[in-house]
Structure 1
Amino acid sequence: MTVSREEIRAKLDLIVAGMTGLRHDGRFDEPNLDGTAGDYISFDSWEWPQGVGLYGLVRLWLHTGRDDLRRLVEAWYDRRLEAGLPSLNVNTTAPMLALSILWRETKEPRWKAPLDDWATRVLSELGRTAEGAFEHHVSDKVNDHELWDDTLYMVGLFLAAYGEASGRKELTDEAALQFLVHTRYLADTRTGLWFHGWTFDGRHNFAEARWARGNAWITAGMLDLFDLAQMPPPVKTFLLGVLKAQVEALLPLQAPSGAWRTLLDDESSYEEISATAGIGYGLLKGFRLGIGGPAWRDAGMRAVRAVLDNVDETGTVLNVSYGTRMGHDLQFYRDIPLQPTGYGQALSILCLCEALHHAETRTR
């Protein structure tokens, strides 16, 4: 397997262009609860796929120092803040993560008030389940009494990042609580993998889907959590143990192509590249930080090869599953359509950025 830094850098440039060119083509009609049109594809929409996309761009900016990326992200936030922010929910919180890192690095005054206000409202206004976890309320659906692993990436990382950067300890404490309570109900003690969701109504894990992208939110998100904020030592030790158990379960489930399937333990489900990128990123980062051994690096580089092989000439990351609601049976996940998205682009950016630390002319 050959992975060169030159190939990775060329694909990163393409993926950025592919992300900014994303446009809603009318294929999916998902109106929001307030009557506005939902747009989970176009680059200029304020939603969770774009939020993850911006995080990828900010991470790439930090890695490369490219001013054009910083200007791109700053212009995006200027446009969206001038237009007015949407209603607060779990998914509309996602764009605040990249903004918090942008503010941390630049200390630009115009970002401070929106960040402070949004963070304060998250603590006081988001619905909560028993034991204090955030209910997964989103723009087009109220999911009362439900925990989804997506919430940790969309809200938990923002609270950690902005809490650390601003000195607001109540935010980092909240991030720790959310990771702990979600782990209690979503980490599968039998396998080490994570379930997609949990409901306190009937107290069950829905279809018990060990869904790949949900697991990727955890593999990638836990490692970034420790970068973004200082967690109390017992919390960090506990979560690292959970992460290692998850990776131990993930490694034997990697397909020969280097990808993981959208249902991790179901060979009849399709290989899915956004999850592959997120997991690959976590494995490579974990190896670089000394958390995991050579098996993490080897599997991560195989994932890199799968990602590179799924970027077309326009920079579009292919074989990415569309936004996935909670499934009540496993067939639901097998049937999720494929659609290029901001999170597919961004998770691939994260994976390839991390791969630059590891890439050689030839890897074994």
Structure 2
Amino acid sequence: MSGNVLWSRKTADTIINQSNEDGCHPELDKRWAYVPGMMQLAIARTGEHYRDEAYFDFMKRHMDLFVQEDGSIRTYRLEEYNLDQINQGKNLFLLMEKTGERQYEQAAHRLARQLAGHPRTSEGGFWHKKVYPFQMWLDGLYMASPFLAQYAKAFDRPELFDETALQLLLVERKTRDPRTGLQYHGWDEAIEQVWADSKSGCSANFWGRALGWYAMALADALEHFPVDHPKRGTIIGIYERMCHALCRVQDEETGLWYQVLDQGRRKGNYLEASGSSMFVYSMAKGVRLGYLEPHFQAKAMKGYKGIIERFVTEDADGVHVHSINHGAGLSLDRDGSYGYYISEPVVSDAHIGVAPFILASLEVEKLSE
């Protein structure tokens, strides 16, 4: 595995080459959802950096399956009040910029209206979904916060930077464990859920991808914040503090991170690709944009080297990414225990792991230029 390989391009090409005759990928054309949105974003960003319009065209082709001429979005329903449904909307900004077509702007306004009326905790935190009352999950901060910050910038809505800061800082305050510096997957203000601690309302463990979502949210939201915003420095401060905590649980031998972050070599735990990619992405981007101190670059590079050596293979079909946790959540039958997190399937090539790998690769490539 050569250090000079542009893994972002090679992996994006693998996904594009899986398309049907109509140019659409069978995992990206079914519904408006957060994983397809992240994959399209990863491929579009790769094309933007390497000035290859085919990557943008791929993203646009899939977005146009959903965004209608009047700005409505096929398969999306505002009243579902689901933060996951905001994520694919991040692609709308590049579409607006490059095409000037009005339906993309109208679709962005539609998603912003969801957030304006989204159900909240008593302190203003967005519920993860309407069906998860009074719960904030780290996942949701990635889904909505960067969109909201970019929307604030694009449409000159400075009050929405305040909103974004509120969300990022509130969830950190509620979920952070002072002993480890890590953050729990979810927080239930009502303390009604079976997984919620009876005092704090937090779930019981530090799931890698959950904190990965939050780490990416910080990097991506900050990119749009005005330098003089009164909460910008605080967000950068908690970002760096979080990265210090992540470095303390980074596997010394491989540079990777475990499925359950702080339980290292406990039986059943394993080094996991999606969370590791998200942490590499966040640290590399944070260093590149000056939010994080330069010494985090070595940690990101060590993690990336581990990803390539341990998780990535190549054959005639292209690039494959292995050791991906297929999914995890919190509900009646998903109790947030250690046993639960290690029991979920471990798979190869799931887009929820491949897209973060593309994003991490692109940031490492930018940092290395």
Shift of 1:99: 1.8
Equivalents in 2 of 1:105, 1:222: separation in Å? Answer: 26
Conserved? CA contact 2:272–2:324, under 8 Å: yes
Relative to 1, partners in 2 of residues 1:170 and 1:280: Cα closer, same or farther, differing over 3 Å? same
Conserved? CA contact 1:319–1:338, under 8 Å: yes
Could you tell which deviates more after superposition, 220-229 or 261-270? 220-229
Q: Which residue does 2:244 correspond to in 1? A: 248
Equivalents in 2 of 1:346, 1:237: separation in Å? Answer: 29
Q: Which residue does 1:145 correspond to in 2? A: 134
CA-to-aligned-CA distance 1:92-144 (integer Å, 9 cap, x gap)? 111001222332454332311111122112211x2211111111117xxx111
Question: Which one of the candidate residues 312, 321, 327 is aligned to 1:323?
Answer: 327
TM-score of the two chains, using structure 1 as the length reference:
0.84
Q: Which residue does 1:278 correspond to in 2? A: 278
1:151-300 alignment runs, 5 A limit: 151-202=140-191, 204-230=200-226, 233-255=229-251, 256-267=253-264, 268=266, 269-300=269-300
CA-to-aligned-CA distance 1:21-63 (integer Å, 9 cap, x gap)? 499xxxxxxxxxxxxxxxxx92223211112222212221221
Q: Which residue does 1:132 correspond to in 2? A: 124
SS in 1 for 2:231: helix
Relative to 1, partners in 2 of residues 1:358 and 1:173: Cα closer, same or farther, differing over 3 Å? closer
- RCO higher in 1 or 2 (8 Å CA, sep ≥ 6)? 1
Conserved? CA contact 2:216–2:279, under 8 Å: yes
Query: 2:114 matched to 1:121?
Result: yes
Relative to 1, partners in 2 of residues 1:55 and 1:264: Cα closer, same or farther, differing over 3 Å? same
Conserved? CA contact 2:119–2:126, under 8 Å: yes
Could you tell which deviates more after superposition, 280-289 or 127-136? 280-289
Conserved? CA contact 1:104–1:165, under 8 Å: no
Which ranges of structure 2 fall in alignment gaps of 5 or more residues? 21-25, 192-198
Question: Which one of the candidate residues 102, 109, 113 is aligned to 2:102?
Answer: 109
Equivalents in 1 of 2:321, 2:362: separation in Å? Answer: 15
SS in 1 for 2:59: helix
Shift of 1:73: 0.8
TM-score of the two chains, using structure 2 as the length reference:
0.83
Letter of the 2:125 counterpart: A
Which ranges of structure 1 fall in alignment gaps of 5 or more residues? 24-40
CA-to-aligned-CA distance 1:252-301 (integer Å, 9 cap, x gap)? 32222221001110122111111111101111222223333443111111
SS in 1 for 2:366: coil
Cα RMSD (Å): 2.4
Shift of 1:199: 0.5
Q: Which residue does 1:87 correspond to in 2? A: 77
Among all aligned residue pairs of Structure 1 and Structure 2, give the percentage whose two residues are the same amino acid.
25
Conserved? CA contact 2:141–2:217, under 8 Å: yes
